[in-house]
Amino acid sequence: MKLRKADDLFKVNSKGEIPAKRADNIKLSSSNYPNPDPPMSLPPVKYQPKTINEVTRMRNGKGPTTKMRHGDKNIEAHHRQQIPVKSGGKLDELEQRTHRGTGNHTRHEKPSQLSPSQRAKEIREHYKKRGKEYILPGEGI
């Protein structure tokens, strides 16, 4: 089966929305993510940490990577369609250039349903929860 880029599979309709389509051959990732955002029916994009330090950062409520070390490939949490998780929204873990880099500024044109403090709190809680998904050396099972 040939995988295609998400942007090729989702075309914006006259309302500027992406119509829901069959997702059986869509592979979204931190760097392969359409603009505008995909439908809520698709699962969230999750970055797979590559080091113990990345998991530790997540457990502390921080993103797994840093801008200093990873530049525009730094992983950032994005509220899909600007909807809070507590209201049924999803957090996608995207590369900074995919999230808010050149050409992706329209991703945030919808009015956000989150205040800055709500956004920060949901992101912290998200990463803490994600960090618990991993067992580090010495922790056992």
- Per-residue pLDDT reduced to its tens digit, 38-83: 889 899 999 999 999 999 999 999 999 999 999 999 999 999 999 9
The answer to whether residue 95 sits within a structural domain is: yes
List, in sequence order, every residue forming a beta bridge with 76; answer none if it has no partner. 94
The answer to whether residue 36 sits within a structural domain is: yes
Q: By percentage, how much of the chain surpasses pLDDT 70?
A: 81
The answer to whether residue 125 sits within a structural domain is: yes
The answer to whether residue 139 sits within a structural domain is: no
E strand residue ranges, 62-133? 75-79, 91-95
How many domains does the chain divide into? 1
- Is 60 exceeded by the pLDDT of residue 22? no
What number of other Cβ atoms are within 10 A of residue 39's Cβ? 15
d(CA 75, CA 96) in angstroms, rounded, equals: 6
- Is 50 exceeded by the pLDDT of residue 24? no
Q: Determine the structural domain holding residue 84 and report its residue range.
A: 6-131
- Is 60 exceeded by the pLDDT of residue 85? yes
Residue type for position 14:
S
The answer to whether residue 136 sits within a structural domain is: no
The answer to whether residue 118 sits within a structural domain is: yes
The answer to whether residue 86 sits within a structural domain is: yes
The answer to whether residue 85 sits within a structural domain is: yes
Mean pLDDT of 1-25: 49
Within its chain, how far is the Cα of 129 from the centroid? 14
Position of tokens 């369609």? 81
